[in-house]
Structure 1
Amino acid sequence: MRTHSVLRTSTKLLMPPIMLFALYVQFHGDYGPGGGFQAGVIFAVAFILFTLIFGPARARRVAPEWVTTPMCALGVLLYAGVGVATMLLGGTYLDYNMLAHDPHHGQHLGILLVELGVGLTVWAVMVTIFLTFVERHAQREAAADPDAEEDGHA
């Protein structure tokens, strides 16, 4: 097995800035371009890069299925929960003004929570889809060549 030390080191160096940029996009989304969808995609890209370099077995140790699957629903529940909370507080669905004493603060909090829900869902769905395809591909290769290594590296 080749170790690809340059790729592994480069990936380890690139992961923190990519994820930091995703956080910037996530929390700056209500002030400018960006938001939950874009941040979720950037986080997923960082994880996909990790998977391509270190293999699906190690990626699943970092983000096991028992984490990614509930995250798909958690983001949607957060989004919907903000809407239900605004209705329970006497407003209409996703009427962010109801979330705080000041409408400006309510708008900011509502957008932040909804975008966070979108980001979680996008990240989890992209990672789940990608790892599902990678794992199925690895299973087909293992069935075709029983001598191949399990982590997807030849």
Structure 2
Amino acid sequence: MKRHSILRVTAKFFIPPIMLFALYVQFHGDFGPGGGFQAGVIFAAAVILYALLFGRARTEKVLPLPVLRALAASGVLLYAGVGVVDMLLGGAFLDYSVMAHDPHHGQHYGILLVELGVGMTVFAIMSLIFLSFAGRKR
């Protein structure tokens, strides 16, 4: 893709807004449609676009595979950790209302953290799947 300079410049222009939109979907997910899964897929789409245009090796310099694996595991641990903290605070697993003095605020914090964990995991797994397939020999 080195000969396609217009495509590469256009992608450099669009990748930051794609990532910004993913963050908007991530943090707006507890108020309306959207959330962790959608944000993770959108963020991974930006990484996949980068990898398609600039190559797998350059993408792995920016985002190494061990970092993606750690991010995937951290997202799952965050999701499960919220449930465990809820149980330690006297509630049921993923009963967010015990996370703050006001049950409404507890619900907000819990949903935000769980959706963040989902977003991290989905982004990392989608990116790992693409990079694994991109690195296969024919």
Whether these two folds match at TM > 0.5 is: yes
Per-residue deviation, 1:3: 3.2
User: Could you tell me which amino acid in structure 2 is paired with residue 92 of structure 1?
Assistant: A
- Cα distance in structure 2, aligned partners of 1:114 and 1:2: 40
Root-mean-square deviation (Å): 1.0
> 1:56-104: per-residue Cα shift (whole Å, max 9, x none)?
0000011101100111111010000000000000110001011111111
1:55-74 correspondence runs (5 A): 55-74=55-74
The AA in structure 2 aligned to 1:55 is: G
Gaps of 5+ in 2: none
So what's the TM-score if we normalise by structure 2?
0.97
- Which amino acid in 1 is paired with 2:126? M
Matched residue, 1:54: 54
1:15 corresponds in structure 2 to: 15
- 1:83-102 matched pairs, under 5 angstroms: 83-102=83-102
Alignment partner, residue 149 of structure 1: none
Q: Percent identity?
A: 67
Indicate the larger mover: 14-23 or 2-11: 2-11
Report the structure number with the largest CA radius of gyration: 1
Matches within 5 A, 1:1-154: 2-136=2-136, 140-141=137-138
Query: Normalising by the residue count of structure 1, what TM-score does the alignment of the two structures yield?
Result: 0.87
Q: Secondary structure at the match of 1:31?
A: coil
Distance 2:37 2:116 in 1: 9
Unaligned runs of 5+ in 1: 142-154
Question: Shift of residue 107 of structure 1?
Answer: 0.3
**How many residues align structurally?**
138
Distance apart, 1:7 and its partner CA = 1.1
Residue-by-residue CA offset, 1:96-147 (whole Å, 9 max, x unaligned) = 01111111110000000000000000000000010000011xxx25xxxxxx
Q: What letter matches 1:22 in structure 2?
A: A
